[in-house]
Amino acid sequence: METLSTWSVLVLTLPTENATARMRFWRALKARGCAVLRDGIYLLPYTEERERMLRELSVAIGESGGTAHLLRAPSLDASQEAEFRALFDRADEYDSLIRTLADARKTVSGQSAAELTKVLRRLRKDYETVVGIDFFPGETATRAEAAWQDFVSHVDTVLSPGEPHAANRAIRSLSVEDYQGRTWATRRRMWVDRVASAWVIRRFIDRDARFIWLTSPDACPADALGFDFDGASFTHVGERVTFEVLLASFGLDSDPALLRLGAMVHALDVGGASVPEAIGFEAIMAGTRERAPDDDQLLAAMSPVLDSMYTHFVASEKGGDTGRRP
C-alpha cells in the first residue's frame, strides 16, 4: 500500500489594495511549486524546509495587509492522495522543455562559444527550475533528464571536440621534481578543464612548461606529456576531471583553494553540484576564447583570471576579505 503524504496547507487572503504585493506573492507561490487547491488555498508536500518557507511567506503576507494561516494535514485515503499528487504533475512543463531542447539542438553548430554558453546557462536554469518543484518525479522526468544530458553532451562536443572518456585506473602519486622543463600537449581551442589544467601545470607543477596545442590527439609527440584526451598521461579518471587528476597526482589536493577551483572546473566540465563562481568564470572563458587568436594567447589571458580566483578562494578559506561589500 502506498504511503500517504502529509501536506502543508496555506490558507490566505492577499492584500486587496496593493496590486504589486499581490503579484509578488502569486509569483512566489508559483516559483515554490505550490498547487492551487481552490482560490486562496495552496498545497505543498510537507518537509521542514518547505514549511519554513511557507511560514516566512505567511509573515510577509500579513505584514503587507493580507492574512495567512499555515496548516498541516495528511491525506485521508489513497483516493485523496492520488488527487493531491495529480495537482503536482509536471508532465506539461517537461514536455515543453524537451521540445525546447530539441529546437535548440538544431542551432548549436552555428553558434559561437559565448552564445552557446548563454543558451546552456538559460536552459540549465529552466531545467533545474522544473526539477526543483517536481516533488513526485515519474517517467516524464526521466525522459527530460535524458534529453537534458544529451543536449549538454552535444554542446560539450561542439565546444570541446574530443572530450575524453573517464579511464578506470588508479591515480599514481608523482613528484613535481621529476616533471620540470617538460613539453605538455593537449587539444587545441581549449575549454574550461584544459585551460585550468594548463594553468595549474605552469603555476604549481612545471613553471618552465612548454605547451603544444594538438589538432588531433594522434599528433601528440612521443616525448610530450599529454593531458585531457583519451590515452593521455593525465586525463579523466573515474569521477575526476583532468584538473582534479593533476591535483591528486602531484599532492596538490591538500590545498583547499585548489580543491574549490577543482569543484568549479568539475561542475563546468561534466556537471554536478553548482558553484557560485562558475557562471562568471564560464562567461569570461567564453568571451576570451572568442577574442584570443590562438591557445597561447588564450592561456595568457585566462591565467590572471585563475590567479585571481585562486587568491579569492585562499582568502575565503582563511576567513579573510573576499572583496564583498558589507
Residue 324 clears pLDDT 90, i.e. is over it: no
- DSSP per residue, 186-211: EESS--HHHHHHHHHIIIII-TT-EE
Q: Which domains does the chain have, with CATH numbers?
A: 6-86 (3.30.70.930), 91-159 (no CATH), 176-318 (no CATH)
Query: Which of 31-35, 88-92, 158-162, 210-214 shows the lowest mean pLDDT across its residues?
Result: 158-162
What pLDDT is recorded for position 318?
82
Task: Using pLDDT thresholds of 50, 70 and 90, give the confidence band for residue 15.
Answer: confident
Residue 156 clears pLDDT 70, i.e. is over it: yes
Task: Using pLDDT thresholds of 50, 70 and 90, give the confidence band for residue 315.
Answer: very high
CB 104 within 8 A of CB 117: no
Residue 184 clears pLDDT 70, i.e. is over it: yes
CB 212 within 8 A of CB 222: no
What pLDDT is recorded for position 243?
97
pLDDT digit string (tens) for 92-101?
999 999 999 9
Q: Which has the higher per-residue pLDDT, 321 or 52?
A: 52
Task: Using pLDDT thresholds of 50, 70 and 90, give the confidence band for residue 116.
Answer: confident
Residue 323 clears pLDDT 70, i.e. is over it: no
Q: What angle do CA 297, 301, 307 make, to 5 degrees?
A: 135
Task: Using pLDDT thresholds of 50, 70 and 90, give the confidence band for residue 58.
Answer: very high
What pLDDT is recorded for position 152?
83
**Whole-number Å distance between alpha carbons of 31 and 256:** 35
Residue 278 clears pLDDT 80, i.e. is over it: yes
Taking the model in full, what pTM does it have? 0.61
Residue 317 clears pLDDT 50, i.e. is over it: yes
Residue 1 clears pLDDT 60, i.e. is over it: no
pLDDT digit string (tens) for 120-155?
889 999 999 999 999 999 999 999 999 998 888 788
What pLDDT is recorded for position 2?
63
Numbers of helices and strands, H then E, in the chain:
11, 7
Read off the C-alpha cell for 282.
564560464
Q: Which has the higher per-residue pLDDT, 151 or 109?
A: 151
What angle, 0 to 180 degrees and rounded to 10, lies between the N-to-C axes of helices 295-318 and 278-291?
Answer: 160
Identify any residues that bridge with 185 across adjacent strands, giving them in sequence order.
212, 226
Tell me the three state secondary structure of residue 301: helix
Task: Using pLDDT thresholds of 50, 70 and 90, give the confidence band for residue 326.
Answer: very low
**Whole-number Å distance between alpha carbons of 19 and 177:** 68
Mean pLDDT over all residues of the chain? 91
